[in-house]
Structure 1
Amino acid sequence: MQKNLSTLLLCLASCLGAGATAGEPVEVTMADRPLPAVNAWAALGDRQAQGELCRRYKTGQGAPRSAADALLHCGRGAAMGLRSAQVWLGDLYLAGEGVARDEALAYQWYMTAAEAGQAQAKFSLYRIYEMGLGRPADRPTAARYLREAAEGGDLQAIEALKKIEAGWRPPVDPAPAQAEVHYLKEQDVLHFTGAPGMFTSAFYRLAAAPRGQVALTVRELKNDPQWAAMASVCVVAEAPSDFACFKLFRTAPDSAVLGASVNTLSADQKAEHDRADLPGQFTVDQTVLVGIDAEAGSTLLRVSIDGRLISVHQIDFRPELIRLGCSTAVCEFKFE
């Protein structure tokens, strides 16, 4: 797969050209994808895919309605910390869909999501306290959750509060209650927060012949007994097919030093080949540029820092998506 490095550098010089840039790719969510693709990503452990399968099987939108499948994928997404899946799972237990009705367990999942700020979960708690589902009715607590849900953008809560308080109006541009916020965008910079032990990612559609680069900076390292802090930029086919990834990772617990590697993964993400550990050490707040160049059936993944090209990796598949990932760290990405 790999060619002589000097040959790749010559190709880079001729393919990229002076001042070549690319437009910012368009984000692709799991809701945009066909069911087989979502199933494939879920099998790889992608929590957004688990949440999307949870929603589709629960509602019957985009997949045959199935309480058993909804329970399976909502449970997996909830366990992975996906707030929307926690709410859907609470709904399943509250209604007894695909499982024995359990109001106490429904309450626990709603509370878990609500404590993280999920507005839909707060509306569900409003209903529980208003109607006395599984616990004594508590109108003051119900009213508090209703207001918090409405102010957080939950549409059902907004309509309910309008009926109770005629003069109440929702905040300007309330946050979508159904959305799972996995990053914030500020002046072209994407800020990811990968909670300890959690992998946060986003996918973007690449142009037919992508050319450009992503600036990656790790801003903060977090600690987890099992997960090392990590940030990655990967190109991948939609199927999904092989991945080609650049990764920054913590080299030892409590260490501030980061190592780096470039590698290709097969579709199951278990068979790694062409791995190359990059020389040198990397640190927090140091920016690495990951470039992508595709032309005439060949794609190059190049890595540079401080104006120095330190790695070129050739890919033998046509990349369709770019995945930005962050785990157990605070990461910044910027398309350039």
Structure 2
Amino acid sequence: MMKDDSWNELVKAYRMGAELGEPEAQFRLGSCFANGYGVEQDKEEAAGWYAKAAEQGYMLAQAALALCYSFGNGVPMDKEKAFGWYLKAAEQGYANAQCNVGNCYELGEGVPVDRAEAAKWYRLAAENGQVDAMIYLAEYYTAGTGVEKDLEEAAKLYFRAKELGAEEVPEG
């Protein structure tokens, strides 16, 4: 963990860049406000900076803003807006957002339930190394949910997830 002085200097630099419209600086400043690094924690301020960066297409900010809408952090909870921002980040190849899009389709959060579409997004995320998506997709293959039942494919996914450090993986 950095000393407070270091965070204060970083916040100043991020703020300077953010006010000039630099999306990475806006995202990083938002993260400082979200976590209380070098500034008083302020979820609304965080969401505001995430939104500025997200609107410029900054993938990590799109995913962060989606999380804000998912949980009502700094903005009113809005599952449809959350889904929209997850999708924007997912379409840019962000594996965590791809997994979250799969979750939205699985649970019907912001979109109608569609297990085949959930499987599609879990597959994309798994191909990009997202461990949770590997486990979710393996569960789908085990049960034949959204995909044709395929225990061999499920086993491969569980094995890969375990290789990458997943702890809650079925044995056998």
Would you call these one fold, judging by a TM-score over 0.5?
yes
Where do 1:200-279 residues align within 5 Å? Answer: none
Q: By how many angstroms is 1:68 displaced? A: 0.6
Tell whether the 8 Å contact from 1:129 to 1:139 is kept in structure 2 after alignment: yes
Secondary structure in 1 aligned to 2:155? coil
1:104 is aligned to: 80
- The gaps in structure 2 that reach 5 residues or longer are 1-6, 141-153, 165-172
Displacement after TM superposition at 1:62 (Å): 5.8
**Would you say the 8 A contact 1:54–1:70 is kept in 2?**
yes
1:76 is displaced (CA, Å) by 0.5
1:99 aligned counterpart, secondary structure: coil
**Other-structure match for 2:24:** 48
Q: Contact 1:54/1:88 (CA < 8 Å) preserved in 2?
A: no
More helix by share: 2
RMSD between superposed Cα atoms in Å: 2.7
CA contact (8 A) 2:11 2:32 kept: no
CA offset at residue 117 of structure 1?
A: 1.7
Cα separation, 1, equivalents of 2:129 and 2:35: 21
Which of 120, 130, 141 is 2:106 aligned to?
130
TM-score by length of 2: 0.70
Offset, 1:143: 1.4
Kindly report which structure 2 residues correspond to 1:24-39, keeping only aligned pairs within 5 A, or say none.
34-39=10-15
Matched with 2:66 is 90
What is the CA distance between 1:137 and its match in structure 2? 1.5
Which of 147, 156, 171 is 1:167 aligned to?
156
Name the count of aligned residue pairs.
141
| 2:106/2:114 contact within 8 Å kept | yes
Give the unaligned 5+ runs of structure 1: 1-30, 174-336
Contact 1:57–1:69 at 8 Å: present in 2 too?
Answer: yes
Of Structure 1 and Structure 2, the greater strand share is in 1
Q: Deviations over 1:254-286 (max 9, x none)?
A: xxxxxxxxxxxxxxxxxxxxxxxxxxxxxxxxx
Q: Secondary structure at the match of 2:81?
A: helix
**2:120 aligned with 1:148:** no
Higher relative contact order (CA 8 A, sep 6+): 1
Checking the alignment, whether the CA contact within 8 Å between 2:83 and 2:111 is kept in structure 1 is no
Of the two, which has the highest radius of gyration?
A: 1
